[in-house]
Amino acid sequence: MNEQDFEGTLVLEKLAAIGKVDEFFDAVDSDDVDRAIALMKRASVDAATLAMVVKKMKAGDAEH
């Protein structure tokens, strides 16, 4: 999972609005699902989108 997976998405727009895009990608890169969830909640990402992102993060782990 990388930045291209999120490019142009509402998730990035909302994270950008609170200045947490880099922190979010750090969480994704380190497989810190809890931190990514906390950041998305702070950015008011809806539950369905949040669940989709977590699913993608966990699927990305299976590729390694």
| Tens of pLDDT, residue by residue, the chain (64 residues) | 445 555 557 888 999 999 999 999 999 999 999 999 999 999 999 898 888 889 888 887 655 4
Asked if residue 27 lies in contact with residue 36, where contact means CB atoms within 8 angstroms, the answer is yes
Give a yes or no: residue 40 inside a domain.
yes
Give a yes or no: residue 64 inside a domain.
no
What is the predicted pLDDT for the residue at 53? 87
Give a yes or no: residue 11 inside a domain.
yes
Q: What's the CA gap between 62 and 15, in Å, rounded?
A: 26
What is the predicted pLDDT for the residue at 57? 85
Q: How many CB atoms lie within 10 A of CB 14?
A: 20
What is the predicted pLDDT for the residue at 64? 44
What is the predicted pLDDT for the residue at 32? 95
What is the predicted pLDDT for the residue at 59? 86
Give a yes or no: residue 26 inside a domain.
yes
Domain with 27 in it: 3-59
Number of domains in the chain: 1
